[in-house]
Amino acid sequence: MCPFVFSVLCGQQNLSLLILVHHKEMHEVTRRKITFFFIVKRKPKLLKDHTYIIGIDPGTVVLGYAVIRVDNKKNNAGEAIKIESLGVIQMKKEQDHYQRLKRISEKISFLMETYKPDEMAIEAPFLGKNVQSMLKLGRAQGVVISVGMVYGAEVTEYSPRKIKQSITGNGNASKEQISYLLKNMLKIDTMPKYFDATDALGVAVCHYIQTSSPFAKMMGGKKHKDWGSFIKDNPDRIKG
């Protein structure tokens, strides 16, 4: 058996790759006679004191947004998360769909320039029956994602069910239940008028939960079949 060894270095991704290939005959190489062993080395990601996350609930009439600052030295969501900006983009006055996309681009660009978020989390559109509405919603989401990437943010999409499950433990939770838990979790005195803003905050917090291992472990340990079972297992998160 004759071994053939070579290495590949990808500088942009700080990735070093070592491949060992073993085959019986040099002049006759097929897939079945090749075995690959990979050794991947990445430079550790430096942990900053704070991480800024922007959460987006896409829409073509009302778009919700939330910017949170995460203290990476703390593991408890209530202590680690501070809301920097929370609100909606109203587009009822713009009758033209393209003007609405322009408004979205301008507002998201302003938020990116102001808070310089490291990461963007956006709710993925659910499948609807109205094709035209889905097309317009997809365009709005595309504008948001493109602006985020232009400003260097890491973009992650989450399904509505994933967001609900991360916040409440129940993938079928209502908007009212999500709003109630966020209010108590983050100690918010007055919740926004529009659920679109609350949903955007939920997206941002969901991303924090999914990317913060100690908290994710605490939150994701058990699935709950209904709202009642979640309250029973998490009495400390329900106040009032």
199 labelled catalytic: no
Q: How far apart are CA 130 and CA 240, in angstroms?
A: 40
What is the distance between the alpha carbons of residues 111 and 65, in angstroms, rounded to a whole number? 9
Marked catalytic residue, from 49, 196, 226, 236: 196
Q: How far apart are CA 91 and CA 99, in angstroms?
A: 9
**Distance between CA 46 and CA 4 in Å, rounded?**
36
57 classed as catalytic: yes
- Our answer to whether residue 118 is catalytic in this structure is no
| Residue in 25, 28, 49, 57 annotated catalytic | 57
Other Cβ atoms closer than 10 A to 70: 24
Annotated active-site residue in 25, 49, 118, 123:
123
Residue 49 in contact with residue 71, Cβ under 8 Å? Answer: yes
Q: Which residues are catalytic?
A: 57, 123, 196
